[in-house]
Amino acid sequence: MRTQVLIVGAGPSGLLLGQLLHRHGIDTVIVERQSGEHVLSRIRAGVLEQGTADLMDEAGVGARMHAEGLVHDGFALTVDGVRHRVDLRALASGKTVLVYGQTEVTRDLMAARAAEGLTTLYEAADVRIEGFDGTVGPGGPGGAGGTGGTDGTGGTGGTSGTSGTSGTSGTSGRLPRATCTVNGEAVEIQADFIAGCDGFHGVCRASVPAGAISVFEKVYPFGWLGLLSDTPPVSHELIYTRHARGFSLCSMRSATRSRYYLQVPAGERVEDWSDARFWDELRARLDPEAAAALVTGPSLEKSIAPLRSFVAEPMRFGRLFLAGDAAHIVPPTGAKGLNLAASDVRYLSQAFIEHYRERSDAGLDHYSARCLARVWKAERFSWWLTSLMHNFDQEPAFQARLQAAELDYVLGSDAARRVLAENYVGLPL
């Protein structure tokens, strides 16, 4: 197979990138290790920044998000049993967030891709990528200046197989490609570029020569035990609770479906948590009003996510570009994971469109630095809010006093709340 941009991974990053490029006539193929049903079965993010919602609109898939998503103009921090509201609309210049599950985002993107008849190879086994580090000459594959593809069309883009981007000028002539097995058949896909949207455990970052990449990581001594239930939320807004027994989060997917999280020690096993144990522990951590309002029910899903902060630098290697969790991970406390993936995809889609439409590689050349400037600010905020709200039993007593002082300051200072709100709604793109 031959395409313009080969996308590895059909999570939100890969699907959103594929949809945005398609709307600008750029051909993509997506290879995904799992089935579509498996991808949809993962319960992850729940809060979209305005920039992410705007991107969904640009991709032409925002209708259900606007119809079913819940606009939230604030959330609560509960400390020592007292609930403190953070008024996003007042503190963040009128900005709000949208509560709409990642599962629904993925479902909308999958449906749009299928409706357009675009190629997604699900259950692709043994995916390998190569040829992405080819020395790309001034022309690049259909890029600015050079003669572009071997067919002399100068990279006008177009449908797969006929695009003017085939071949590369002034290079070793190797094209980036992926090989995999689908339904027992060996498949090879050649492309001008590869977008590594295959998440933290994917093959793309792992395919980069060790000497070419730097990684920065912090692993937290706890994880989040999440439970999804068809029960009404305890409050119309999210509640982040700091408690001596551990952090908890009351979130939601709709007025009838709730999402709850408990801080649990690293290494905890989900099999050790019956629904009854989960509900008892959650109730013990909530403020009295929330505890009284809690409606329990059978779990639809229950899982433990380990918490880590992780960044790989740079995010570009020749003709391979990493986006989303393939390049960075944040603890979910700040609701940044999915939103960071969306901002990477915004920058990468703009760069590819510039390459094929305006024959400029400025966006591609600036992609990594542009993403990382935003990634590190989100890493800082996610680490900070995690440090503020979770129990660190192993930390020295001095650290616990600093944490208490920081909380006291945040809750008592308009300036500090403004910083919290500005980061929570998402920094400017």
The residues annotated as belonging to the active site are 72, 240, 332, 336, 424
Phi and psi of 46, rounded to 5°?
A: -135, -10
In the list ligand PHB, ligand FAS, none, the entry touching 202 (Cβ below 5 to 8 angstroms by class) is ligand FAS
Distances (CA, A) of 132 to 49, 176, 220, 234, 319: 32, 4, 34, 50, 5
Stretch that binds ligand PHB, among 60-68, 180-188, 196-204, 332-340 (CB under 6 A): 332-340
Q: How far is CA 422 from the centre of its chain?
A: 19
Stretch that binds ligand PHB, among 137-145, 333-341, 343-351, 403-411 (CB under 6 A): 333-341
List the beta bridge partners of residue 75. 86
Enumerate residues 6+ apart whose C-beta is below 8 A from 16: 55, 56, 59, 109, 341, 342, 345
CB of 170 to ligand FAS, least distance (A): 31
Classify each residue of 200-220 as buried b or exposed e, where b means 16 or more C-beta atoms within 10 Å of its C-beta.
eebbbbebbeeeebeeeeeeb
Query: Nearest CA to 44 among 340, 351, 277, 392?
Result: 340
CB of 332 to ligand PHB, least distance (A): 4
Residues 244-263 that bind ligand PHB (CB under 6 A): 251, 259
Q: Which is nearer to ligand FAS, 44 or 370 (CB)?
A: 44
First-residue to last-residue Cα distance in the chain = 35
Structure tokens at 201: 């455990």
Interface positions with ligand FAS (CB under 6 A): 8-14, 31-34, 39, 44-45, 102, 124, 127, 197-199, 201-203, 305, 324-325, 332, 335-338, 341
> How many positions of this chain bind ligand PHB (CB under 6 A)?
10
What distance in Å separates the CA atoms of residue 236 and residue 351, rounded to the nearest whole number?
Answer: 39
Q: Which is nearer to ligand FAS, 136 or 378 (CB)?
A: 378
Q: Which is nearer to ligand FAS, 72 or 359 (CB)?
A: 72
Half-sphere exposure of 156 (CA within 13 A, CB side): 5
In the list ligand FAS, ligand PHB, none, the entry touching 341 (Cβ below 5 to 8 angstroms by class) is ligand FAS
In the list ligand FAS, ligand PHB, none, the entry touching 32 (Cβ below 5 to 8 angstroms by class) is ligand FAS
Enumerate residues 6+ apart whose C-beta is below 8 A from 332: 45, 224, 261, 305, 307, 382
Query: Nearest CA to 63 among 30, 111, 14?
Result: 111
CB of 207 to ligand FAS, least distance (A): 9
Stretch that binds ligand PHB, among 58-66, 125-133, 296-304, 330-338 (CB under 6 A): 330-338
Among 335, 338, 348, 425, binds ligand PHB (CB under 6 A): 335
Structure tokens at 231: 């029960």
Stretch that binds ligand PHB, among 44-52, 76-84, 154-162, 309-317 (CB under 6 A): 44-52
What distance in Å separates the CA atoms of residue 77 and residue 79, rounded to the nearest whole number?
Answer: 6
Q: Which is nearer to ligand PHB, 64 or 174 (CB)?
A: 64
In the list ligand PHB, ligand FAS, none, the entry touching 333 (Cβ below 5 to 8 angstroms by class) is ligand PHB
CB of 129 to ligand PHB, least distance (A): 31
In the list ligand FAS, ligand PHB, none, the entry touching 403 (Cβ below 5 to 8 angstroms by class) is none
Four-residue CA torsion sign, 110, 112, 114, 119: negative
Stretch that binds ligand PHB, among 45-53, 119-127, 157-165, 351-359 (CB under 6 A): 45-53
What distance in Å separates the CA atoms of residue 348 and residue 17, rounded to the nearest whole number?
Answer: 8
With H, G, I as helix, E, B as strand and everything else as coil, classify residue 311: strand
Among 332, 338, 351, 403, binds ligand PHB (CB under 6 A): 332
Q: Which is nearer to ligand FAS, 5 or 45 (CB)?
A: 45
In the list ligand PHB, ligand FAS, none, the entry touching 12 (Cβ below 5 to 8 angstroms by class) is ligand FAS
Kindly compute the dihedral angle of the four CA atoms of residues 9, 13, 16, 19, in this order, to the nearest 10 degrees. -40
Q: Which is nearer to ligand FAS, 207 or 391 (CB)?
A: 207
Strand duo 320-322 + 193-196: pairing: parallel
Angle at 32 between CA 27 and CA 34, to 5 degrees: 155
Does 45 sit near ligand PHB (CB under 6 A)? yes
Among 78, 169, 299, 333, binds ligand PHB (CB under 6 A): 333
Q: Which residues bind ligand PHB (CB under 6 A)?
A: 45-47, 238, 251, 259, 332-335
